[in-house]
């Protein structure tokens, strides 16, 4: 019954590695998002995908690449991980062009050593 | 450009006391305003939202917020805080789902 789910919940890895975080929503929404929450709790949008097209990219390094195989999934791939990538990453979903609520996943805490 | 300011980084209140969390925004048009809560180790949950109409908005868990255009504010209130309200609270502003900006958050601690 989980509306927005993410895996893994925790991810610890070494600098330079490549990792992925998966997100799935079962709400029938047409838009999905990735947010980064830093150590100071500041929440910043990274990407959104609507109908398999990227519609927002907020000056995120190109080491980060969202991939959406279908409307229900938006995975986040990160190449050559850096220490500064350590954060909590939240997936969310919503309906484009509306003021409907965005629903958030539980978050993935990424730690880069 | 739109922005959101939450002036209080951390607030401590006693259980049963009233609560007000401040939120100020900057936006070029009529804003859509949101309050989310994040419990420790959890994702964000919507408390309430304002789009138009009555400027006093009721939300879940006994929270309410009042939109004051003249002050560019959307403060969150609760008349009597419960220990389970301890969490991080985020104000957000946007024109729609694709345009939301979050404030830096206010951490609420509840004393017994």
Residue in B47, B93, B97 to test binding to A, most A beta-carbons within 10 Å: B97
Q: Do A97 and B104 touch (CB under 8 A)?
A: no
State whether B97 and A42 contact (CB < 8 Å).
no
pLDDT digits (tens, 9 = 90+) for B44-92: 999 999 988 899 999 999 999 999 999 999 999 999 999 999 999 999 9
Q: Examine the pLDDT at A72 and tell me if it is beyond 70.
A: yes
- Report the residue from B34, B43, B107 with minimal CB separation from A106: B43
Q: Percent of chain A beyond pLDDT 90? A: 59
pLDDT at position A50: 85
Question: pLDDT (tens digit, 9 = 90+) per residue, B9-32?
Answer: 999 999 999 999 999 999 877 788
DSSP of B88-110: EEEEEEESSGGG-EE---EEEEE
Q: Assess B8–A contact: CB distance below 8 Å, yes or no.
A: no
Q: Which residue has the higher pLDDT, B98 or A94?
A: A94
Range name among A57-61, B13-17, B31-35 with the lowest pLDDT average:
A57-61
The whole-angstrom distance between residue B83's C-alpha and the CA centroid of its chain comes to: 18
Write down the pLDDT at residue A1.
61
State the alpha helices, DSSP H only, in chain B: none
Residue B100 has pLDDT above 90, yes or no: no
User: Which residues have a Cβ under 8 Å from the Cβ of B53 and sit 6 or more positions away?
Assistant: none
């Amino acid at each position: 019954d989980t509306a927005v789910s993410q895996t893994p919940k925790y991810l610890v890895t070494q600098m330079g590695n490549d990792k992925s975080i998966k997100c799935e929503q079962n709400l029938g929404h047409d838009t999905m998002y990735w947010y980064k929450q830093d150590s100071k709790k500041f929440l910043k949008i990274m990407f959104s995908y609507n109908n398999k097209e990227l519609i927002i990219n907020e000056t995120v390094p190109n080491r980060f690449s969202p991939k959406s195989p279908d409307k229900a999934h938006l995975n986040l791939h990160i190449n050559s991980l850096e220490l500064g990538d350590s954060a909590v990453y939240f997936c969310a979903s919503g309906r484009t062009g509306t003021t409907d609520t965005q629903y958030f996943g539980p978050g993935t805490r990424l730690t880069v050593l | 450009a739109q922005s959101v300011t939450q002036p209080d980084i951390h607030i401590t209140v006693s259980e049963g006391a009233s609560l007000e969390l401040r939120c100020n925004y900057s936006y070029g048009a009529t804003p859509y305003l949101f309050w989310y809560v994040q419990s420790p180790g959890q994702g964000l949950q919507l408390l309430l939202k304002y789009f138009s109409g009555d400027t006093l908005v009721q939300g879940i868990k006994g929270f309410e917020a009042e939109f004051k255009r003249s002050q560019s504010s959307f403060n969150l209130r609760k008349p009597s805080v419960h220990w389970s309200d301890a969490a991080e609270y985020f104000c957000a502003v946007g024109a729609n789902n694709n345009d939301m900006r979050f404030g830096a958050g206010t951490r609420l601690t509840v004393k017994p």
